Chain A
Amino acid sequence: MTTSASLERLLGAGPYSLPQKEKRAILTERVRELSCRHYECCEPYRNIVNRIFGGPQTLDFERLEDAPFLPVSLFKTRELCSVERAKVVKKLTSSGTTGQAVSRIYLDAETAQLQTRTLVKIMQHFLGVERRPMIFLDHAAVVRDRYSFSARGAGILGMLPFGRQPFYALREDMSLDLEGLEAYVEQMKPGPPVLFGFTYIVWQYFVEALEQMCRRLSLPGAILLHSGGWKRLEALNVSMEEFRRRVEAVAGIETVINYYGMVEQVGSVYFENSLHCLQASIWSDVIVRAPETLEPLPHGRAGLIQVLSALPSSYPGHSLLTEDIGVVEGCDNPATGMYGKYFRVLGRLPKAELRGCSDTFQRTVATP
């Protein structure tokens, strides 16, 4: 395992324990290290730094804003890996509808372990050290193929170690197994449970399902963790507030925590703070950039979200420009009891709908 002073310092601290200025200095050093590492070990990354960012001298950046970045879509079109194939222990793929390209992320033991370590610390911050009964608002089949699984499966597998007595509340046809769930709640070990699921699945197959059955659950003290973007809920005109309100109404769950993460940066996830914003941990940070010029924007201005992570050493995913639009809302706010930047995701940049010659019938988007 490579030793890195900056990484050691980050791993030695609590997820929200460093004031932004201090954290930033260490994270910048770490991102610099990772950039140099990938420049050496990953040819496409090296080509990009040379051809787009002006060569290796740019790797000596002072400000985090000056670190080279990759658009997140590149993991869909290129194999980006900085270790020998023999060292890859896990390949993550993003979920994608049929026919769409998926991201492929190659993890070696070191990166996989780092992801787990930091995720544990972030989870424990919110869920406590004691492992609680865990209810997955999904069905068990999504985690079957362990070498290569979907983001949904990966999310669940990532969660498994944080709970005990895992229970899958949905049947394979996505119907809610209410009897099974009630029986589980009846006999589960003491301590309120943690429920976990993808936002739209929680909404459609749990909240709406319970509402349609006119049934209510009582899960006082339970925590619902959910993630996966608001696109589908936005389409249904459901706000975050309404989501929380209706979860509480049907299941009695008062603590609903959204988080923002992506298969390209597992581990350094952003959990919702008490202001209902997403909070960066010391292992990650966000920069918001103007969509037109890519210039970094000050707090309060909406733009493209760039995510930085201290973890990825087996693939060049430490600095990524997403297609999500967001806004940094503040930093080191005492009201949250946490240090670091926090932000909101406002939505996703619409896909370029470029109509080529060849789409009288087939709709093709011009991508290489």
Chain B
Amino acid sequence: MRLLAPAGPSTTVSDLLTLPPATGTPFAAGPQATLAHLSTLILQHPRLRADAASVALAYWLRRSNLDRLAQAFERRRALEPETVFVPVGRVFHVAPGNVDTMFIYSWALSYLCGNQNIVRVSGQNSEVLAHLLSLLSSLMQENEELAAGNRFITYEHDQAVSAALSEWATHRTVWGGDDTVKAFRALPMSPHASERAFASKFSYSVLSAATYLRASPLTAEKLAAGFFNDLFWFDQLACSSPHLVIWAGSPEQSDSAIRRFDTELEKEIERRGYESDPSHTMHRLNYVFNLSCDADLTVDLTQKQFLSVRLLDGHPWRKEICGGGLFMHVRVENLADIATIAEQRDQTVTHFGFSREELELLAQAGGGRGVDRYVPIGDALAFDVIWDGYDLVGDFLRRVTVRMGKYDSQQ
């Protein structure tokens, strides 16, 4: 097991478990200042500054957003006057391997809530991950409180380590996929502990074909820019990256809309000078050849940096993930038809061209079956304190009830 921040020699589980107990108060000034400082450091870092996902992280960690989070906490307190909010205590975070910045979001919220944290990052070589960890390490050298209560580690699949950390934790947050979640569910925690698990998810976009066709050139350009981010960040393998683009409208409208959409995306790719990894091109190609053996589709292989596959009407949909810049256009008659395909693993639906009422109806109709969030195209990867339908801040806090007897005031 390697200790990544604070940087140190390889460490043992028993060393980790001797963290001093958290005495933190939620949303104290110290952690807020530390995170705001981290935001500045990220934006000053030559490599991280150039990484869109790191910039988004820094933006999320900036002072004004932390203020907003603190205000939200104050509102929470005001709504529950009989509750004293305390940290949940010791949090074990298992960070995902596909999104380099995710471990910071998860950790930062828990740190703000006043907890002790052990964060397991996956050991994959990522430059961004390494830079972020070294920033944290350097922060820890000058910040005793940060260094005392937080450990960022990595280790290969090791049941014994995972078991010991699970036993230690009063709350476990597993960002994984189905397999990781299952592996951790098998490891018992303290009977008093709580857990939040984020499993494999599937995300897609829905657009009104008619509205999209009427959209101004500027709107179409902005949508392409937003879709570009949703698609290409993290190689389309973040849980919230879209894999289907669903058009609500007539066949004719959808045809024209799809042509416009693809052309706009091509223009956006050109504007940004984006070049996908050649191995991704091959990956997309292999995927679409295999798919076309038994799915009725059309595709244009001369598309650069991405492939948009058109699944023909009447063909059963596939909720499959290729990744690396491939998505499938499909058509429905009405937005409401989408509710029938909602599944529990559906996470983010990015949308354009519908009214709030239509989307609320859809959310209701999808209901217990699925879909965690409906957000505008371009916001798929924006981190939210409500994730997969769960309140992360709530997870990292414990509510202590303090209720007075009616005679107390008469004393």
Q: Are A358 and B320 in contact (CB under 8 A)?
A: no
> Of B29-37, B214-222, B271-279, which binds chain A?
B271-279
B293 contacts chain A at the CB level, 8 A cutoff: yes
Q: Are B124 and A292 in contact (CB under 8 A)?
A: no
Question: Which listed residue (B122, B179, B276, B285) contacts A71, Cβ 8 A?
Answer: B285
B27 contacts chain A at the CB level, 8 A cutoff: no
B382 contacts chain A at the CB level, 8 A cutoff: no
Cβ contacts B274-318/A at 8 Å (1 or 0 each): 011111111101111111111011110110110000000000000
Given the known interface contacts A52-B292, A357-B176, A358-B180, the answer about A291 and B322 at a Cβ–Cβ threshold of 8 Å is no
Residues of A within 8 A of B335 (CB): none
* Min distance, Cβ A346 to any Cβ of chain B, angstroms: 13
Question: Which listed residue (A48, A291, A358) contacts B292, Cβ 8 A?
Answer: A48
Q: Are A357 and B278 in contact (CB under 8 A)?
A: no
Cβ contacts A347-359/B at 8 Å (1 or 0 each): 0011111111111
A212 contacts chain B at the CB level, 8 A cutoff: no
Q: Are B305 and A355 in contact (CB under 8 A)?
A: no
Q: Are A360 and B94 in contact (CB under 8 A)?
A: yes
Q: Are A355 and B97 in contact (CB under 8 A)?
A: yes
Residues of A within 8 A of B259 (CB): none
* Complex Cα–Cα for A304 and B237 (A): 25
Q: Are A360 and B122 in contact (CB under 8 A)?
A: yes
B235 contacts chain A at the CB level, 8 A cutoff: yes
Question: Which listed residue (B178, B293, B302) contacts A358, Cβ 8 A?
Answer: B178
Cβ contacts A276-305/B at 8 Å (1 or 0 each): 000000000000000111100000000010
Q: Are B179 and A366 in contact (CB under 8 A)?
A: no
Residues of B within 8 A of A353 (CB): 279
How big is the B interface, by class? 35 or more
* Min distance, Cβ B127 to any Cβ of chain A, angstroms: 14
Task: Name A312-334 residues within 8 Å CB distance of B.
Answer: 321, 323
Cβ contacts A54-78/B at 8 Å (1 or 0 each): 0000000000000000110110011
Max chain A CB contacts within 10 Å: which of B234, B236, B279?
Answer: B279
A361 contacts chain B at the CB level, 8 A cutoff: yes
* Min distance, Cβ A304 to any Cβ of chain B, angstroms: 8
Residues of A within 8 A of B321 (CB): 356, 366
Question: Which listed residue (B177, B200, B239, B278) contacts A291, Cβ 8 A?
Answer: B278
* Min distance, Cβ A366 to any Cβ of chain B, angstroms: 4
* Nearest 6 CB-CB pairings of A with B: A358-B177, A352-B283, A357-B177, A44-B293, A360-B180, A355-B98
A190 contacts chain B at the CB level, 8 A cutoff: no
Cβ contacts B73-106/A at 8 Å (1 or 0 each): 0000000000000000000001111100000000
* Min distance, Cβ B3 to any Cβ of chain A, angstroms: 19
Sample 28 A-B pairs with CB under 8 A, ordered by A number: A51-B292, A51-B298, A71-B282, A77-B286, A78-B290, A78-B293, A291-B278, A292-B304, A293-B302, A294-B285, A323-B282, A349-B282, A354-B236, A354-B280, A357-B177, A357-B200, A357-B201, A357-B238, A357-B239, A358-B178, A359-B98, A359-B177, A360-B97, A360-B122, A360-B175, A360-B176, A366-B323, A367-B283
A368 contacts chain B at the CB level, 8 A cutoff: yes
Q: Are A349 and B289 in contact (CB under 8 A)?
A: no
Q: Are A352 and B279 in contact (CB under 8 A)?
A: yes
* Complex Cα–Cα for A304 and B279 (A): 11
Question: Which listed residue (A70, A292, A360, A361) contacts B278, Cβ 8 A?
Answer: A292
Residues of B within 8 A of A78 (CB): 290, 293
* Min distance, Cβ A44 to any Cβ of chain B, angstroms: 4
* Min distance, Cβ B93 to any Cβ of chain A, angstroms: 11
Residues of B within 8 A of A71 (CB): 282, 285-286, 289
A165 contacts chain B at the CB level, 8 A cutoff: no
Q: Are B98 and A52 in contact (CB under 8 A)?
A: no
Q: Are B179 and A361 in contact (CB under 8 A)?
A: yes
Chain B minimum-CB-distance residue to A354: B323
B403 contacts chain A at the CB level, 8 A cutoff: no
Given the known interface contacts A292-B304, A349-B279, A356-B177, the answer about A366 and B289 at a Cβ–Cβ threshold of 8 Å is no
Question: Which listed residue (A47, A350, A354, A360) contacts B235, Cβ 8 A?
Answer: A354
A362 contacts chain B at the CB level, 8 A cutoff: yes
Task: Name B198-224 residues within 8 Å CB distance of A.
Answer: 199-201
